[in-house]
């Protein structure tokens, strides 16, 4: 059955029924116009201002001649302007392309060229990097700089952000926007090869936002969430998992400023009575140390999330103490499947702290055997696969990657693990990071968890290195914490691991480094660790 719409204007029907990420802001602004949507340092932005700015900017971007589905590249740090630009793109039917500001100009030039972006929006502090990108990217015709009357960037047309907004029409931006079309393109971190552009639709992001609001226990109504966001908004976690669900729910996003300063983070949590926060384990550790030195009132925090890696029990205990009223939980996911895909329940903090937790409401999670593609049963280890509206549309300009990713009617994560009898997902390792030693498959993650708990270890990454006898030998690359003499640390780590792991899992080699190579979101770049370990 289908309705007879022959007498209905197509735009009228579209506006009345569509799924558009930009509309999540418009709806909230209509109900809570004077609420604070974003606190950006000392700048407070209401929902009314954020929504009106997004619409005017969207009108202005279309006025530059950008057509539906055109990528708008953003070279911006965390700010209310970055969020406004994202929502402007969504309302206008453009594709928002946030760039990882930690990458080199050479890498960013490649991304912009691959995406064929004709416009770049830049923070003034990143002008020098923008010069390098624009010089090498022939596709860029227009640069928008978030300052008044900016000097030209390279030889391209350069416009001030505020000036561009001022040229946009006032009033709602009512345009036809394909809800199954892309709203964002986020390039993967490129830890193993050239990054891939992940295209995600309005439907996927919107459902992901709703799911994240549910699993992080955000309330709709008179008790809105207040989320402190310290992770970079160019990354899917800060953007889709943290900031945007809060805006959808009528809450406040607090952006404490550039860089990570534990004292500033704790001060902001206390001053703004934040209810939610998400950080990497090393960030929680730094905040716990600062809180021990100078206690703040953090009783407002209801949900303290960590990601990217499990936390050892001794650190979890400190985080519990730091946030006495909070559920401390691990969330996991990936750019291709709007995270979170799985998230612990509060009770898992004590019953399954090392797990990823169950699937979220919008995602079906199973494991699959490779290469035959058979779904596996409870407790059987295989590749973790997903079916969900959260799943991306696919990769830009990469047919081979799409063929592999969507094989057998499931999205293939590249992660190995199992689902237990209670539906809890347990992660073993990335498929490419499994170490094959003497015929045994060694989980680098399991070895890392043990080595991290050893005295004298601040951080570690476990990789396989070539070995004539075993094929690969287990190698632990360790950052010392200074509490054990450096000369004694390798033997102590091996001794500690031998008393807690199977013989085939114990590191054959322990190498000490000053720091581990990481992405901007704190993810260890194992391809670099592996290269360094093999070169030594």
Cβ atoms of 337 and 390 closer than 8 Å: yes
Q: Confirm if 236 and 339 have CB atoms less than 8 A apart.
A: yes
- Say if CB 316 and CB 306 are below 8 A apart: no
Question: Can you give the pLDDT at residue 446?
Answer: 84
Which two tokens mark 452? 């991290």
Tokens of 489: 């640390």
Report the distance separating Cα 143 and Cα 120, nearest Å: 5
* Range name among 48-52, 192-196, 401-405 with the lowest pLDDT average: 192-196
Residue 197's pLDDT is 97
Q: Model's pTM, two decimal places?
A: 0.87
Q: Which two tokens stand for residue 348?
A: 């898992």
How would CATH label the architecture of 10-201? 3-Layer(aba) Sandwich (3.40)
Residue 420: what pLDDT? Answer: 96
pLDDT at position 430: 80
The rounded Cα 389 to chain-centroid distance in angstroms is: 18
Q: Whole-angstrom Cα distance, residue 385 to residue 462?
A: 24
| Tokens representing residue 374 in the block | 């058979």
Decide which of 102 and 230 is more confident. 230
Q: What is the pLDDT of residue 413?
A: 94
CATH superfamily of 434-535: ANL, C-terminal domain (3.30.300.30)
Q: What is the pLDDT of residue 7?
A: 98
Round to whole Å and give the CA distance between 71 and 310.
Answer: 35
Q: In the predicted model, what is the mean pLDDT of residues 405-428?
A: 94
Going by DSSP bridges, is the β-strand pair 182-187/197-201 parallel, antiparallel, or unpaired?
antiparallel
Reduce the DSSP state of residue 83 to 3 states and report it: helix
pLDDT above 70 for 536: no
pLDDT digits (tens, 9 = 90+) for 192-212: 567 899 999 999 999 999 999
Question: Where is pLDDT greater, at 307 or 5?
Answer: 5
Neighbouring residues of 158: CB distance < 8 A, sequence distance ≥ 6: 142, 143, 144, 145, 150, 151, 152
Q: What is the mean pLDDT of residues 250-279?
A: 95
Banded model confidence at residue 270, pLDDT cuts 50, 70, 90: very high
Listed by start position, the domains of the chain span: 10-201, 434-535
Which range (6-10, 156-160, 298-302, 530-534) has the least confidence? Answer: 530-534
Q: In the predicted model, is pLDDT for residue 190 greater than 60?
A: no
Q: What is the dihedral of CA 225, 231, 232, 234, to 10 degrees?
A: -70
Q: Looking at 177-181, 370-374, 490-494, 530-534, which range is the least confident one? A: 530-534
**What's the mean pLDDT in 200-227?**
96
Helix (H, G, I), strand (E, B) or coil at 176: coil
């Amino acid at each position: 059955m289908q309705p007879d719409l022959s007498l209905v204007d197509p735009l009228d029907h579209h506006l009345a029924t569509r799924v558009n990420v930009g509309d999540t802001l418009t709806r909230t602004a209509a109900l809570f116009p004077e609420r604070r949507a974003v606190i950006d340092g000392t700048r407070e932005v209401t929902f009314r201002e954020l929504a009106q700015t997004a619409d005017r900017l969207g009108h202005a971007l279309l006025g530059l001649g950008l057509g539906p589905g055109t990528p708008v590249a953003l070279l911006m740090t965390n700010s209310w302007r970055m969020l406004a630009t994202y929502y402007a793109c969504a309302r206008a039917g453009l594709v928002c392309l946030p760039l990882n500001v930690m990458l080199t100009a050479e890498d960013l030039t490649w991304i912009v060229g691959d995406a064929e972006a004709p416009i770049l929006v830049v923070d003034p502090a990143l002008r020098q990097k923008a010069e390098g990108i624009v010089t090498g990217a022939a596709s860029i015709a227009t640069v928008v700089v978030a300052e008044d009357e900016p000097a030209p960037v390279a030889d391209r047309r350069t416009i001030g952000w505020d000036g561009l907004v001022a040229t946009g029409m006032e009033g709602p931006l009512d345009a036809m926007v394909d809800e199954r079309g892309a709203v964002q393109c986020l390039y993967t971190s490129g830890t193993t090869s050239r990054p891939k552009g992940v295209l995600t639709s309005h439907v996927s992001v919107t459902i992901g936002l709703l799911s994240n609001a549910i699993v992080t226990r955000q309330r709709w109504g008179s008790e809105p969430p207040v989320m402190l966001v310290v992770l970079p908004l160019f990354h899917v976690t800060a953007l889709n998992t943290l900031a945007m669900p809060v805006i959808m729910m009528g809450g406040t996003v607090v952006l404490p400023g550039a860089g990570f300063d534990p004292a500033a983070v704790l001060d902001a949590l206390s001053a703004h009575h934040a209810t939610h926060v998400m950080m990497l384990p090393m960030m929680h550790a730094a905040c716990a140390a600062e809180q021990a030195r100078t206690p703040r009132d953090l009783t407002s925090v209801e949900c303290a999330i960590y990601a990217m890696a499990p936390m050892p029990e001794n650190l979890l205990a400190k985080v519990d103490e730091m946030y006495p009223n909070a559920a401390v939980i691990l969330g996991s996911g990936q750019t291709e499947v709007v995270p979170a895909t799985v998230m612990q329940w509060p009770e898992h903090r004590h019953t399954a702290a090392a797990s990823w937790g169950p699937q979220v409401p919008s995602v079906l999670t199973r494991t699959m055997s490779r290469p035959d593609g058979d779904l596996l049963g409870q407790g059987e280890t295989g590749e973790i696969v997903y079916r969900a509206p959260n799943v991306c549309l696919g990769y830009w300009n990469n047919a081979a990657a799409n063929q592999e990713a969507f094989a057998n009617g499931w999205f293939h994560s590249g992660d190995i693990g199992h689902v237990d009898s209670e539906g809890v997902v347990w992660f073993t390792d990335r498929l490419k990071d499994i170490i094959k030693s003497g015929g045994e498959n060694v989980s680098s993650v399991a070895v890392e968890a043990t080595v991290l708990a050893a005295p004298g270890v601040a951080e570690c990454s476990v990789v396989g290195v070539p070995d004539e006898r075993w094929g690969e030998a287990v190698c632990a690359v360790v950052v010392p914490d200074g509490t054990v003499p450096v000369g004694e640390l390798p033997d102590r780590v091996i001794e500690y691991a031998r008393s807690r792991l199977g013989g085939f899992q114990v590191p054959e080699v322990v190498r000490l480094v000053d720091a581990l190579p990481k992405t901007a979101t704190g993810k260890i770049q194992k391809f670099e660790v592996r290269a360094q370990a093999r070169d030594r």
